[in-house]
Amino acid sequence: MTTYLHYAKRQLGGSWFRVVQDAQSGVWRVDRSAPNRRYDATSRTLLAVIGQTLHSPDHDDFSGAVLTDTVVSGTLANCSGMQTPWGTILSAEENAQSFYGDLEQAWSGDNRFIPGVGFDPGGSITPDFAAHPLSLFGGNPDAYGLHNRDIYGYLVEVDPDAPPNQFYRSVADGGDGVGQRKLGGLGRARWEDVTFALDASGNLIDGQPIVLYASQDRSSGRIYKWVSKTPFIQGMSRAQIRSLLDEGTLYVAHFQDLDYDTGWTVQGVALTEDNPGQGRWIELSLASQDIAPNATALGHSGTTVGEALQDMTWNGIGGFSTDNDVRVALFTAANKIGVAELNRPENLLWNAKDPGGEARLYIAFTGHTRRVALDAEGLLYDPETQETTAPTRSDRVGSIFVLREQNPIHPADSHRFSYFAIWRGSEGTTPFAATNPDNLMVDAEGGLWFTTDGNRRVNGTDDGLYYLDLNPAHKAGEP
């Protein structure tokens, strides 16, 4: 079994290789002379977790030797991502819970709170970090092959210029700024995708902090925003730019007034650009002075997010002792303070060339057909009755939303946003009947393309690639 599991880990992760096209034949081939890389889930790939302290040091898969500082073995469950403006690759570790166990095991697949697993009210939240024996890799008889649950579930930055086993050391700490890392400052989640706020030329915004947006792919998952502590200045070296991602502030998007039973309407009405919903970014830390969304409903209207997160009984969930504890359990933290649940965020993409004339964030919500954890006021449903009292969302088709920052030119300074649906899925067999949007892409002119993932399940037809005409001058039914 040990050998089998080892080879299974070698199949996870991802590869970086160069392909070239023969000018005469047009055939594409792998350039075997290029420095092609393989990143897997063993200690052949080493990454430093930056901005987050691990529960305990990780170890080498083969020798059992304790690894340096915050260095961990491998990457797995890699989903979508992007190329950074400085030439590295970001990849989101999505369903990491399958391999060593779910660290946030207090939530059922139907979003019911599960008592007795370290998240109960009346004390501090204390998750089980050890590999679960019933997980895919948790039954490994070789102790060297077991890893804690908190070393996976991050946004990963892959540096193709460095060998897979060279982990990142920041220039801020005397390193060379080269190598592989996980962005611990954004926390752990079932990450689907990540995008940067860039200017129309695809560059970082000069004089402004770096802004990242990331999506949590699960029913009732949320959208997160991270803002670097230090701004980007034109002329910085690659290593200096990478060091900007070492430290920053994490926010979660609260889609105010979003109908808790649908997840895509407000007061039963679909949102449009002329009639958008309103939202705010909530700092997710113990020092946060933002007001908790469910403060009024719990009878304490002035309670801050920081106070609510630390409170050992707030919203029927235990308290967080440190920001590190908050980041390791983002889904629980958002539920505790009453953040609006969303319809499974998939890809998201910043479009600085939007035909509407201003930069916008596009989000694919693939759908939600499970129960919710919170009521309309952000209060946790009683675990004893949630299965009979909480509504089941019936979004089988999904939507694509626009999130419009209050200040799209300087999104780091925006604490509020508006939102509306730019596209809604539909059931049927017509050429444009499509459901469950997933991947998004912006072309050179700012046009939006998307793929579906689940259309056959709903409409009985294959998934496809679609172009969404965003030009406001183009009207439906007109040439």
Work out the angle at residue 351's Cα, subtended by the Cα atoms of residues 212 and 220, and round it to the nearest 5 degrees: 55
pLDDT on residue 120 = 99
Task: Give the integer Cα–Cα distance in Å for 415 and 323.
Answer: 20
Average pLDDT of the segment spanning 308-319: 99
pLDDT on residue 35 = 86
pLDDT on residue 477 = 66
pLDDT on residue 236 = 98
Q: Tell me the domain boundaries of the chain.
A: 2-468
Task: Give the integer Cα–Cα distance in Å for 205 and 195.
Answer: 14
H and E: helices and strands count for the chain: 8, 24
- pLDDT tens digits, one per residue of 64-99: 999 998 999 999 999 999 999 999 999 999 999 999
Helix (H) or strand (E) holding 335: helix 330-337
- Cα dist. 381→208, 341, 375 in Å? 41, 13, 7
| 30 pLDDT higher than 70 | yes
Between the two ends of the chain, the Cα-to-Cα distance in Å is 63
* DSSP letter assigned to residue 5: H
Name residues whose C-beta falls within 8 Å of residue 422's C-beta, 6 or more positions apart in sequence: 273, 362, 400, 401, 402, 468, 470
- pLDDT tens digits, one per residue of 160-219: 999 999 999 999 999 999 999 999 999 999 999 999 999 999 999 999 999 999 999 999
What 3-state DSSP class applies to 107?
strand
Instruction: With CA atoms as reference, report the closest residue to 5 among 142, 138, 143, 137.
Output: 137
pLDDT on residue 69 = 81
User: What's the gap between Cα 166 and its chain centre?
Assistant: 25
Confidence of residue 473 (pLDDT cuts 50, 70, 90): confident
pLDDT on residue 471 = 83
Task: Give the integer Cα–Cα distance in Å for 290 and 281.
Answer: 9
Average pLDDT of the segment spanning 100-104: 98
- As a whole number, the mean pLDDT across the chain is 96
β-strand pairing of 465-468 with 437-442: unpaired
Confidence of residue 29 (pLDDT cuts 50, 70, 90): very high
Determine what percent of the chain is predicted with pLDDT higher than 90: 93
Q: Which residue has the tokens 């999904």?
A: 398
Average pLDDT of the segment spanning 112-125: 98
Cβ(290)–Cβ(249) under 8 Å? no
Determine what percent of the chain is predicted with pLDDT higher than 70: 99
pLDDT on residue 404 = 98
pLDDT on residue 197 = 98
- pLDDT tens digits, one per residue of 365-390: 999 999 999 999 999 999 999 999 99
Average pLDDT of the segment spanning 51-57: 97
| 437 pLDDT higher than 70 | yes
Average pLDDT of the segment spanning 445-463: 92
| 479 pLDDT higher than 90 | no
> Model's pTM, two decimal places?
0.96
pLDDT on residue 1 = 87
Average pLDDT of the segment spanning 41-67: 97
Confidence of residue 470 (pLDDT cuts 50, 70, 90): confident
